Amino acid sequence: MDKWILIDGNSIANRAFYAMPPLTNSAGLHTNAVYGFTTMLLKLLEEEKPTHVLVAFDAGKITFRHEGYSEYKGGRAKTPSELSEQFPVMKDLLKAFGIAQFELAGYEADDIIGTLTRRADEQGVETLVVSGDKDMLQLVSPKVTVAVTRKGVSELEKYTPEEMAEKYGLTPQQFIDLKGLMGDASDNIPGIPGVGEKTALKLLHEYGSVEEVLAHTHELKGKMKEKIEAHKDDAIMSKKLATIFREVPLEQEADDIRYGGYEGAALAEAFRKLEFKSLLERLELGAGEGGAAAEGVRPEAELAVVAIKGDADADKLQELVAALQDGAEHGLYVEAAGENPHIADVLGLAVAAGGQVYAMTLDTLQAPFAEPLRSWLADPDKPKFGYDTHKADLALAWQGIPLRGAAFDVQLAAYLLDPTDGSQTLTGVAQRYGLPGVQPDEAVYGKGAKFKVPDEETLLRHLAAKADAVLRIAPLQRDDLEKTGMHKLFYELELPLSRILAGMELQGVKVAKEELEALGAELERGIADSVARIYELAGTEFNINSPKQLGEILFDKLGLPIVKKTKTGYSTDAEVLERLEPYHDIIPLILHFRQLAKLQSTYVEGLLKEVRPDTGKVHTYFRQTIAATGRLSSQFPNLQNIPIRLEEGRKIRKAFVPSEAGWYILAADYSQIELRVLAHISGDERLKEAFIHDMDIHTKTAMDVFGVSAEQVDANMRRQAKAVNFGIVYGISDFGLSQNLNIPRKEAAQFIEQYFDVFQGVKQYMDDIKMQARKDGYVTTLLERRRYLPDIKASNFNIRSFAERTAMNTPIQGTAADIIKLAMVRMDEAIKDRKLKSRMLLQVHDELVFEVPEEELELMKQLVPQTMASAIELDVPLKADVNYGVNWYEAK
DNA sequence: ATTTACGAC
DNA sequence: TGGAAGTCGTAAATG
């Protein structure tokens, strides 16, 4: 039994383009439409198992429809270049799939498909038409089903004659009449003005066709009658335009669209170029199940692995340890299961050495006979090439196995080479370098709740594949780091920092539980009180934490004005609530409740959950490969967003205490580091001057922007100037500033103009950096950290504007991140050199936190800010302020 | 799993 | 025409 699938290529590509988020490969080629199209195609091939497949495309701009009606498809926006550049790619991909594609001058894809379905009807071949457009419904027949995309492209809604009757009460033929009456704005088919789907359906149910409707206009009345009589000709022409032409002179025959399955190698190559990682993985997974195997993909099964299983294999371990003495580079992979390395299970490890790959589970590594291997792991002078050695370091440390001597890290390198590429999985990195052969973790372990450690054989093979991949990828990445000028950044900053971070994390921060619990009890009382008063004012009980329920109370029950909506309902965020304050006494209570609930759930209960019962400490995990600007991030718990702005929240900091009696918490933070960085990289003389004289930068900005003297700057002027300075750092827009200051956009625009008038060097920098981003496709920080901005040339204003703000912000935020990282490396050295007992505990973007014994207090008060200020020499001085106290709260 | 809201710099 | 502030992580509700 034959089965045909006929796809409207243009229509699906369009749908995919607008439904998918923007996606580009590293060459800057947009790929989202191709991606959406491909996932749909793969799904169709798998589910429908067709014998024949065709993708039809529109050819050229002028079709026979324009002969009678030159306005056809008029007024349509030009296809954006982000989409049009994807058509050739899509056509190439179809070749790799081995799928036929037709286009014929003067005809649209619809007509080609219409002609083929006529043949299918005649021959009685079961056929599925796939389109993003309901126009195709006129082709439905007992043999022909039409599937229309719904929500993006992944879901299809199929129509048979029965379903059409059920849903519209129309035959396929009548669908043409429907369009004749109501028209189609997207094709510029007029129809009858004022007649929409509702009216058109009513008329057709009554009279059956356009012709019959027009013959019976005397039976109609009112406005509708007038309109229809006035636009009879339009209706007739619209029906003609909407009719798919089913007699296209096609030379091809059924055999020309026969589909014999794709050839894996060609497809894999195409996916690789497009950087469709997940699809590539799917292809490789499918290969094991009898699908076409991609050429050049060496399955893990074929890797020779030396499995070391307990002391029965002591001889193999000896062989490994011997191989590790060869002075060559060795690959190491440690598998830690779970996101949090402080509580992760170490499943095992693999070492690539001497042309072999050895692998073992944790049991074996911990056995007495493995001591020589553990010595190698602990030896800082035995260089290791690894993947996420930071996580490995922590996970092993908690098992009592020290790891030192990371000399290369594939994950860290992948991050520097493209920090916006969210997942630097080994599978993905290997693929990018054309070294496939690492199964995705998901395929080996399953995902989410279904996580399961496979049998030892499979596990060790997987670990071995990773260690092998690490060793082969590292030299390639090293070249790339060299080429992009990030060699030094990698070896002298990021790699040393990763070990320093691990040390800080293992040290942990002591938490005074009783302090948190007391605060929690206080919050509990406040919350209970707020809840009772809110229920009373609302006249009912509800879940205040539910934005949905809260919205219903505020806007439906109490009838407060709707300020803003989210895509799912009413917005109830703080900004909205603040605007509603004048309308109802319940609002301040809700704001207060929100504040207390946040502190309770996130900072009291959340933090308490993370405290280790044995040590009373929290051990955060600083992630070095997440933030696109080069900043660190902090997890489990996040110690970079502990409250400080409001006093109620700030009290949380009283719970962060030194881990030794009589010690102090010492915190030092950079003063205005981002604006100082801006002064340096923009070279703006006035801004530099301000910092050289260590002026209050917001006051100084107010003086210059408002043209007044220092004495004339009032609190409000300073506040506005401060907002402008923030805006400058973020890549300003008048709208953003107007929102922030709650002033009209015009005024905000004026502020910005005045600012740029005064700080012309800054203005110049903002223009230059955008131009540079357009020219190079990326921006860099002072230490050559790089961030690609493929969207900088987008035609969509929003997308392009976002990229432009990123271009302005990233060098500033990123350079600040570079500087504090440098300071951390220097501080670590200083502490070691002077053999101090003081410990670095935390980094909070512009702040470093230490615990310090009393006898080192005076020294550290000098050393820390001095080291931070001299981490790098800029055209303006850097400055760090220092404070200390018996807890983090007091270090202010 | 996604959305909303909110804490930090 | 309007769009529309940079970087993160966590908790709770809800699909």
Query: Integer distance in angstroms from CA A551 to C1' B5?
Result: 13
> How sure is the predictor about A376, in pLDDT bands with cuts at 50, 70 and 90?
very high
The yes-or-no verdict on residue A389 having pLDDT over 70 is yes
Mean pLDDT of chain A: 89
**Strand B at less than 7 A from CB of A635:** no
Task: Tell if A340 CB is < 7 Å from nucleic strand C.
Answer: no
Domains of chain A by residue range: 1-161+253-283, 173-243, 300-508, 642-682+766-792+815-892, 685-758
Residue at minimum CA to C1' distance from nucleotide C12: A545
Residue A640, pLDDT above cutoff 80: yes
**CA-CA distances (angstroms) from residue A121 to A4, A140, A286?**
11, 10, 34
Rounded to whole angstroms, the distance from the CA of residue A818 to the C1' of nucleotide B8 is: 19
Helix (H) or strand (E) holding A674: helix A673-682
Which residue in A65, A64, A69, A45 sits closest to A55, CA to CA? A45
Mean pLDDT of the A517-535 span: 96
* Cα diameter, chain A: 103
A520 touches strand B (CB under 7 A): no
With cut-offs at 50, 70 and 90, classify the pLDDT of residue A294: very low
Q: How far is CA A323 from CA A316, A318, A357, A358, A514, in A?
A: 10, 9, 11, 11, 53
| pLDDT at residue number A288 | 38
CATH fold group of domain A1-161+253-283: Rossmann fold (3.40.50)
Nearest nucleotide (C1') to the CA of residue A736? Answer: C5
β-pairing, A656-657 vs A509-511, is antiparallel
CA A296 to chain centroid, in Å, comes to 30
Indicate yes or no: strand B within 7 A of the C-beta of A475.
no
Residue with tokens 């001095």: A866
- pLDDT, residue A292, reads 34
Interatomic distance A183 CA / B6 C1' (Å): 47
Query: Is strand C less than 7 A from the beta carbon of A732?
Result: yes
- Is the pLDDT at A18 greater than 70? The verdict is yes
Subset of residues 420-449 in chain A with CB less than 7 angstroms from any atom in strand B: 447-448
**Alpha carbons A402 and A386: distance in angstroms, whole number:** 15
**pLDDT value at position A882?**
97
CA of A625 to C1' of C9 (A): 14
Residues 825-844 of A with CB under 7 A from strand B: 844
- Is pLDDT at A795 greater than 90 in this prediction? no
**Residue A732 CA to nucleotide C5 C1', Å?**
6
pLDDT digits (tens, 9 = 90+) for A600-610: 999 999 999 99
* Identity of the residue numbered A807: A
Could you give the dihedral angle defined by the CA atoms of residues A523, A529, A532 and A533, in that order, rounded to the nearest 10 degrees? Answer: -120
Q: How many angstroms is C1' of B9 away from CA of A691? A: 20
Contact A461, A322 (CB under 8 A): no
Residue A83: alpha-carbon gap to chain centroid = 21
- Separation in Å: B9 C1' and A328 CA: 43
- Distance from residue A572 (CA) to nucleotide C13 (C1'), in Å? 14
What the block records as the tokens of A444 is: 């080996």
Residue A631 has pLDDT above 80, yes or no: yes
How far apart are alpha carbons A237 and A71 in whole angstroms?
A: 12
Quick one: CATH architecture of A300-508?
A: 2-Layer Sandwich (3.30)
Using the CA of A570, give the nucleotide whose C1' is nearest: B4
pLDDT in tens, A725-738: 999 998 888 888 99
The predicted pLDDT at position A278 comes to: 60
Tell me, rounded to whole angstroms, the distance of Cα A768 from its chain centroid. Answer: 27
Give tens-digit pLDDT for A767-779: 999 999 999 999 9
Q: Which of A10-14, A149-153, A701-705, A833-837 has the lowest mean pLDDT?
A: A149-153
List the nucleotides on chain B closer than 7 A to a protein CB: 1, 3-9
C-alpha distance across the termini of chain A, in Å: 79
> Which CA distances in Å does A257 have to A2, A6, A102, A158?
12, 9, 9, 22
CATH, domain range A642-682+766-792+815-892: 3.30.70.370
- Which residues, at least 6 apart from A106, have a Cβ–Cβ distance to it below 8 Å? A59, A60, A62, A63, A64
Confidence grade of residue A381 (pLDDT, cut at 50, 70, 90)? very high
Which nucleotide has its C1' atom closest to residue A633's CA?
Answer: C8
Q: Integer distance in angstroms from CA A724 to C1' C5?
A: 10
Q: How far is the CA of A190 from the C1' of C3 (A)?
A: 30
Tell me the nt nearest to A599, Cα to C1': B7
Provide, rounded to the nearest whole percent, the portion of chain A with pLDDT above 70: 93
Residue/partner pairs of A452-456 with CB below 8 Å, 24 or more apart: A453/A337, A453/A347, A456/A307, A456/A309, A456/A361
- Count the Cβ atoms, other than its own, within 10 Å of residue A306: 21
The DSSP symbol for A245 reads P
- Across A700-711, average pLDDT: 95
pLDDT at A290 over 50: no
**C1’ C11 / CA A601, Å:** 7
Check residue A216 and give its pLDDT. Answer: 78
Residue A643 has pLDDT above 90, yes or no: yes
A848's CB contacts (< 8 A; 6+ apart) are: A667, A668, A669, A820, A823, A824, A827, A840, A842, A864, A868
pLDDT of res. A481? 97
- What is the model's pLDDT at position A285? 53
Q: Is the pLDDT of residue A210 over 90?
A: no
Mean pLDDT of A861-870: 97
Count Cα atoms within 13 angstroms, Cβ side, for A596. 20
Query: Domain A173-243, what fold?
Result: DNA polymerase; domain 1 (1.10.150)
Over 60: is that where the pLDDT of A293 sits? no
Distance A736 CA to C4 C1' (A): 6
Residues 612-641 of A with CB under 7 A from strand C: 623, 626-629, 631, 633-638, 640-641
**How do beta strands A126-131 and A144-150 pair?**
parallel
The pLDDT tens digits for A75-123 are 666 778 888 888 888 888 888 888 988 888 888 888 889 898 898 888 8
The answer to whether the beta carbon of residue A341 comes closer than 7 angstroms to any atom of strand C is no
| Whole-number pLDDT of residue A296 | 37
Q: Is the CB of A541 under 7 A from strand C?
A: no
Rounded mean pLDDT, A862-885: 97
Q: Which nucleotides of C are covered by protein (CB under 7 A)?
A: 2-15
Which residues 582-601 of chain A have a CB under 7 Å from nucleic chain C? 601
Task: Name the more confident of A421 and A565.
Answer: A565
A740 touches strand C (CB under 7 A): yes
Nearest nucleotide relative to A643: CA against C1': B7
- Strands (DSSP E) along A444-552, which ranges? 509-511
Q: What is the pLDDT of residues A409-440, one digit of tens each?
A: 999 999 999 999 866 899 999 988 888 889 99
Closest nt by CA–C1' to A626: C8
Taking the C1' atom of every nucleotide in all shown strands and the CA of A449, the nearest one is: B1
Measure the CA–CA gap between A814 and A493, rounded to whole angstroms: 14
Beta carbon of A573 within 7 Å of strand B? yes
Do the Cβ atoms of A811 and A682 come closer than 8 Å? no
pLDDT value of residue A291: 33
Q: Residue with CA nearest C5 C1'?
A: A736
Residue A688 has pLDDT above 70, yes or no: yes
Q: Which nucleotide is nearest to A447 (CA to C1')?
A: B1
Average pLDDT rounded to a whole number, residues A672-699: 97
Residue A250 clears pLDDT 90, i.e. is over it: no
CA gyration radius, chain A = 33
Task: Determine contact, residues A131/A5, Cβ cutoff 8 Å.
Answer: no
Sign of the torsion formed by the C-alpha atoms of A203, A205, A207 and A211: positive
Q: Is the pLDDT of residue A741 over 50?
A: yes
Chain segment A798-843, per-residue pLDDT in tens? 889 999 999 999 999 999 999 999 999 999 999 999 999 999 999 9
Q: What are the pLDDT digits (tens) for A145-202? A: 888 887 666 667 888 887 777 777 788 888 888 877 787 766 667 777 777 777 777 7
Where is average pLDDT lowest: A80-94, A351-365, A507-521, A753-767?
Answer: A80-94
Q: Tell me A782's DSSP state.
A: T
Q: In the predicted model, is pLDDT for residue A235 greater than 70?
A: yes
